[in-house]
Amino acid sequence: MNRWIRELSVLGVLGLLLALLAWRAPAFFQLQPLLSLLAREAPALVVACGVAMVILVRQIDISVGSQFSVCSVFAGVLAAAGWPLAAVVPVAVLAGGSLGLVNGLLVAWLGLPSIVVTLATLVALRQGLNLVRQGEFVNLPERIQWLGLPQAQGQWLLITGAVALLALLAWGLRHLAVGRWVYAVGSDAEAARLAGIRPRWVTLVTFVLMGALTGIAAVMNVVQSPQVQPLTGSGLELKAIAAAVVGGVAISGGRGSLWGVLAGLLLLACIAPAMVHLRIDAYWEKAIQGLIILAAVMVEGVRQRRNHGR
Amino acid sequence: MAERPLLVFRQITKSFGAVRALRGVDLEVRAGEVHALLGENGAGKSTLIKVATGAHAPDSGTIHLAGERLERLDPALARRRGIACIYQQPALFPELSVAENLALRLEPTSAWRRVVWSERRRMAATLLSRIGADIDPEREVRTLSMPEQQLVEIASAMGAGARVVIMDEPTASLTRREQERLFGIVTALRREGVAVIYISHRLEEILTLADRVTVLRDGQTVACHARAEVDEAALIRLMVGREVDQLYPASESAPGAVRLELKGLCCRAAGGRPVSLRVRAGEVYGLAGLVGAGRTELARTIFGLTPADAGEVWIDGSRVSIGSPQAAIAQGVAYVPEDRRRHGVVLELPVGQNISLAAWRRIFPLGWLRGDRERSEAEHFVRALSIKTPDTDAAAANLSGGNQQKVALARWLATRPRVLVLDEPTQGVDVGAKSEIHRLVRRFAAEGMAVLLISSDLPEVLGMSDRIGVMRGGELVAELPQGATAMDVMSAALGQTPSEGAA
Amino acid sequence: MGAEPAQLSTVASARASTWRRWLLRYEVLLLAVLIVEWLLFYHFGTTTNRRGVTVGFGTLDRQFDILRHSCEIGLLALALTPVILTGGIDLSVGSLLGLCAVVFGGLTHALGLPLPVAAVVTLLVGAAAGGVNAGLICQLRLPPLIVTLGTYSLFRGLAEAFTRGSVTYSDFPAGFLMLGQGRWAGLPVQAWIFLMVAVGVWIWVHRTFSGRAFRVIGFSPDGARYAGVGVRGQLTAAYVAAGLIAALAALVYTSRLGQAKADAGLGYELFAITAVVLGGTSIFGGRGTVTGTLLGVAAIAVLKNGLATLPVVMRMNAAEELAGLLTGALLLAALAAGKLAERWRRSPAG
């Protein structure tokens, strides 16, 4: 159980928040709004999984928000052009994967610092999208709304889909050799090399996977609204990184789990609606998010130092 | 004993720049024996290990494993062939569990293979119990102590089917009980037919464990004996070898008043023990001892890097408190650290900027950079210490080891120190630069500095020091006058009084 | 001893190639790119309209516009240069700009403080916010990236909370608006401010020991400690100064637009970091110059404004987007070229 202590403590904080809500504002627990909230966060969860894996290999990707926008608009355009959803999904995944490949090649092959590479692709992709689309919204056909299902069913499907994807990735990270390599490379790339693992290859795969997940998330986003607006996803990178850090993924690599990311994201996602229900000024949301990130990193710092003795 | 040797080194040589680390080493290790490798610091043991594990390619000479010549040895090949090395600082994945650390090295490297955790745990438990280590395979490696991490390394070597296991000072940081457990493991390895190359400074260990002993000196094999043929005194003689044959500059001045006095000084937080000693102005006080005897730790405490939490420092008769390197500089204490490339100089920085770095308060009034003053200061030291550099704007990285060391010295001389602490000032420096540095140290003393010279190079300590303090286990165990012999120093450092050694 | 003649010959060749080294310096290359860029825009972006008046890139007004618009991001880039030189990063400067703008608006409007007092308090708030970053990074030794990611969210959140997301402070007195809209001695007023800060930071980084210490810390934090450099003090100074300059940028911003809102400076940190890295400062610390940062800022600003004057781009109405795209590509190209050059330089030796 010691292994899960960090995840459990985040869940504990989330539980406290929910208990407070149950006591002060039971209205929070109405099914439909809650369902909408979770469905809205489903794409962010998928993206956060990808970002968490990138952090696990001791890299960072701040371009996910832009990748997400590009994939969303791309998927929207295809859908509007009459493509069936079954064709849109793989193409969006492919598009996201190739964006991830670009980042991955620059980082893993050229050995450039990932923070600067993804800063550049963040700006370039965002502006490139604006250049091509001129801020135009994409009107989506009715048939792909909620995957063609009634709204509630569609929401359920998105939520379970996102969680299932997370579970699958978490399983892979835990039970496939390549998943363990992600941890090994993040923990000590040189030791990994000596153990016969190719760190560059693992890094590249992680970035590509990150992009592919963003593609999936983009489709999950597109089916939730009648239009795609090109600014969708700006700031998503920070939300995803915050969810990972709060959920206990160490920024120094090699430590953390996707279940922690789930807990972290839920905590961050519940703050805004909880504030509404608790009649706290909603404009404090970002400040509180910032404080949570700082608290998480401080807890982590103290824990690290205690473990390293002295 | 007519067995064919398992691992054979023939006439291995290796140079780093002008430094000849190995000049023709022969070594034969048999299966199922514990072969001790003995020698002073700098005799070439670590270089030899690195050649054996493929980390360094030898300049000449041959390596045979089980009769087969190993060419173009690299770390991966060495491991495949069953040569494993347990370093003092194990190279494990700190965030991962013990079982996983073992598995990552031992399992096949196919990416999409299923990981069976129960199997990993069972394998880890088996390996750990085989070497008698009581470690939970589930624990994260970063929560293990250093000796426990060594045990994990040994288990990994066993799991990889190592035929040769090299142990580099495995007991350096171990408690008595941990040592005994390790000895049990070494004996078990021998029983399984593994060749163990055992490197240690602790003679009593070698005499209990080893079947044969090879002694290195100055990069050459001087002797190989069976355990029964030698005793401690003989080993010390072999290690020390010749009398001091190099010419050391004579002391030019009579020591003056007490300049530096430590009274029970230590930093407990960093694991230090109280040390008291006095160094006079104009005196070179040599600090001898084995690696890990606590000399560097003492120096770091004097210099305020790990500020003292007990004891007192007196300089020129007044008590001073040194809580940081800045305070040390203000009190006229200078420390030239052991790790030249990481701490002594900033490699990317030009020579001139390296020299002015510590004395900036004097050279740059009010923190205002003055190129002219910096240049004249740097040129002064380049001349005075005859530092070979194209100009003072060349990056320190472009200089040879000896000249980098002189730059590090210049940096601290520029602070005009009263107390100069030198930590292994001639390590990895070629012969010419070495004797130049010796002459400089003498001159500094003659100018009135109190010099504390930490050195593992015995002839250097003997030749340079006006008095010699010997440290062991964090404490000052002996103070010897000038004219002490290598035997005296080694005996004290190894924890043998001469009479005991003779007995 | 055999090495000696070789070393002597390096002395000679080092002197002979001084001018070549100077020409190949990153800043000089960047300056050349900038000049070419400017000339191209001057040529293609300047037209004469029917009434015989010159319009477009070549006009003085346009050049002043470029200056005005690049001041705030330029200030942030200057603030970030020392921080990045130490091997750190500060993502929170854009948010801090927003917070300080709102604080200034609140102080003058809600509390009715006189302008100079409010300005000074705002600067102090900026410095204190920088101090928060510094404390977390130096005292608790937490990673700068995550700490400033947290304060990025915190500072912006505080700005939104203070204004409840919607309050916009406007109606500043004309005297204050001079700062962002007026001219002094022929140049826009904020250009003078920018120039002063630039000279100040340049002196700090290149002419004082503190700047030397930033580099040393960036190259080797351990090496700095062993040399008796006060690492904590220097780092604290760098982050506090970053906060202070961000507050100054907030004042300029407020004055230029005549209003203070919580979203002031949103995303500016990205452009500022881009400018610094494009200017040749290593994200790992140690290497970099203030001149490089200024050239990086100028390259981005000229690109953005120059593109807007090209007839083709005007027809597409896509100057900003194209500039962003090109800036990102330029940044990647600069990085990749540097890396490949380094590999190529090393391969014959090793």
Strand partners, B22: B14
A309: in domain: no
Res. B62: pLDDT tops 80: yes
Average pLDDT over residues A198-224: 96
Confidence of residue B70 (pLDDT cuts 50, 70, 90): confident
Touching partners of B (3+ C-beta pairs < 8 Å):
A, C
A307: in domain: no
Residues A293-310 pLDDT 10s: 899 889 888 877 776 543
Res. C349: pLDDT tops 50: no
Strand partners, B452: B285, B421
Give the residue from chain B lying closest to A185, CA to CA.
B93
Regarding whether B288 and B265 lie in a shared domain, the answer is yes
Domain boundaries, chain C: 26-40+62-333
A116: in domain: yes
Confidence of residue A106 (pLDDT cuts 50, 70, 90): very high
Whether residue C274 and residue A119 make contact (CB cut-off 8 A), yes or no, is yes
Confidence of residue C12 (pLDDT cuts 50, 70, 90): very low
B273: in domain: yes
Give the 3-state secondary structure percentages of chain B, helix then strand then coil, rounded to 5: 40, 25, 35
Residue A38 and residue A43: Cα distance in Å, rounded? Answer: 10
Whether residue B93 and residue A181 make contact (CB cut-off 8 A), yes or no, is no
Q: Min CA distance, C93 vs chain A (Å)?
A: 14
Average pLDDT over residues C3-22: 49
Q: Domain with B234 in it: what CATH number?
A: 3.40.50.300
Confidence of residue C9 (pLDDT cuts 50, 70, 90): very low
Best of C83, C90, C141, C149 to substitute, by most chain A Cβ atoms within 10 angstroms, is C149
| Counted domains in chain A | 1
Region of residue B42 (phi > 0: left; psi between -120 and 50: alpha; otherwise: beta): left
Regarding whether B393 and B287 lie in a shared domain, the answer is no
B159: in domain: no
Regarding whether B73 and B7 lie in a shared domain, the answer is yes
Res. B177: pLDDT tops 80: no
Q: Which of B16-25, B249-258, B308-317 has the highest mean pLDDT?
A: B308-317
> Given CB atoms, is C7 within the 8 Å cutoff of chain B?
yes
Regarding whether B447 and B394 lie in a shared domain, the answer is no
Query: Could you tell me where the DSSP H helices lie in B385-447?
Result: 401-413, 431-446
Regarding whether B487 and B453 lie in a shared domain, the answer is yes
Q: Which of B268-277, C48-57, C231-240 has the highest mean pLDDT?
A: C231-240
> Given CB atoms, is B18 within the 8 Å cutoff of chain A?
no
Whether residue C145 and residue A115 make contact (CB cut-off 8 A), yes or no, is yes
Whether residue A177 and residue B115 make contact (CB cut-off 8 A), yes or no, is yes
Give the residue from chain A lying closest to C88, CA to CA.
A115
Region of residue A234 (phi > 0: left; psi between -120 and 50: alpha; otherwise: beta): beta
- Domain of B44 in residue numbering reads as 1-82+210-242
Tokens of C112: 């009715």
**CATH architecture type of domain C26-40+62-333:** Orthogonal Bundle (1.10)
Touching partners of A (3+ C-beta pairs < 8 Å):
B, C
Best of B79, B89, B104, B309 to substitute, by most chain A Cβ atoms within 10 angstroms, is B104
B155: in domain: no
Whether residue C328 and residue A123 make contact (CB cut-off 8 A), yes or no, is yes
Q: What is the DSSP letter of A297?
A: H
> Given CB atoms, is A19 within the 8 Å cutoff of chain C?
no
Regarding whether B453 and B320 lie in a shared domain, the answer is yes
Confidence at residue B18, expressed as pLDDT on a 0 to 100 scale: 65
Average pLDDT over residues C97-124: 95
Residue C122 and residue C103: Cα distance in Å, rounded? Answer: 6
Whether residue C153 and residue A116 make contact (CB cut-off 8 A), yes or no, is no
Confidence at residue C8, expressed as pLDDT on a 0 to 100 scale: 40
Whether residue B115 and residue A180 make contact (CB cut-off 8 A), yes or no, is yes
Confidence of residue A4 (pLDDT cuts 50, 70, 90): confident
Give the residue from chain A lying closest to C266, CA to CA.
A235
Give the residue from chain C lying closest to B18, CA to CA.
C1
Q: Which amino acid is at C63?
A: Q
- Total CB pairs under 8 A between chain B and C: 75
Confidence of residue B74 (pLDDT cuts 50, 70, 90): confident
Res. B247: pLDDT tops 50: yes
Q: Domain with A95 in it: what CATH number?
A: 1.10.3470
Touching partners of C (3+ C-beta pairs < 8 Å):
A, B
> Given CB atoms, is A306 within the 8 Å cutoff of chain B?
no
> Given CB atoms, is C16 within the 8 Å cutoff of chain B?
no
Res. A204: pLDDT tops 90: yes
Chain B residues closer than 8 Å to A183 by CB: 93, 95-96, 100
Whether residue B305 and residue C226 make contact (CB cut-off 8 A), yes or no, is yes
Residues C223-235 pLDDT 10s: 999 999 999 999 9
- Mean of per-residue pLDDT scores for chain A: 91
pTM of the model: 0.87
HSE on the CB side for A207, CA within 13 Å? 27
Domain boundary, last residue among B190, B219, B242: B242
Confidence at residue B3, expressed as pLDDT on a 0 to 100 scale: 63
Stretch 155-174 of chain A: residues touching chain B, C-beta under 8 Å:
174
Among residues B126, B156, B122, which one has the least CA distance to residue B141?
B156
Among residues B341, B440, B468, B439, which one has the least CA distance to residue B395?
B341
DSSP string of B166-227, one letter each residue: EEESTTTT--HHHHHHHHHHHHHHHHTT-EEEEE-S-HHHHHHH-SEEEEEETTEEEEEEEG
Regarding whether B412 and B466 lie in a shared domain, the answer is no
- Domain of A196 in residue numbering reads as 2-301
Res. B501: pLDDT tops 50: no
Average pLDDT over residues C231-253: 97
| Counted domains in chain B | 3
Confidence at residue C24, expressed as pLDDT on a 0 to 100 scale: 64
Residues B12-58 pLDDT 10s: 999 876 678 899 999 999 999 999 998 876 778 888 988 998 888 89
Whether residue C153 and residue A111 make contact (CB cut-off 8 A), yes or no, is no
Confidence of residue C179 (pLDDT cuts 50, 70, 90): confident
Nearest by CB to residue C325, choosing from A131, A252, A301, is: A131
Residues A14-43 pLDDT 10s: 999 999 999 988 888 888 989 999 999 999
Confidence at residue B1, expressed as pLDDT on a 0 to 100 scale: 42
Average pLDDT over residues A195-216: 95
Res. B408: pLDDT tops 90: yes
Regarding whether B323 and B432 lie in a shared domain, the answer is yes
Regarding whether B307 and B428 lie in a shared domain, the answer is yes
Residues B342-380 pLDDT 10s: 999 999 999 999 999 999 999 999 999 999 999 999 999
A306: in domain: no
Q: Min CA distance, C63 vs chain A (Å)?
A: 24
Q: How far is CA A2 from CA A48, A56, A261, B99, B401, in A?
A: 24, 19, 17, 16, 48
Confidence at residue C47, expressed as pLDDT on a 0 to 100 scale: 77
Confidence at residue C11, expressed as pLDDT on a 0 to 100 scale: 44
Residues B417-444 pLDDT 10s: 999 999 999 887 777 788 889 999 999 9
Residues B281-301 pLDDT 10s: 999 999 998 877 889 999 999
Chain A residues closer than 8 Å to C149 by CB: 238, 241-242, 245, 293
* CB within 8 Å of A90: residues ≥ 6 apart: none
Average pLDDT over residues A68-80: 95
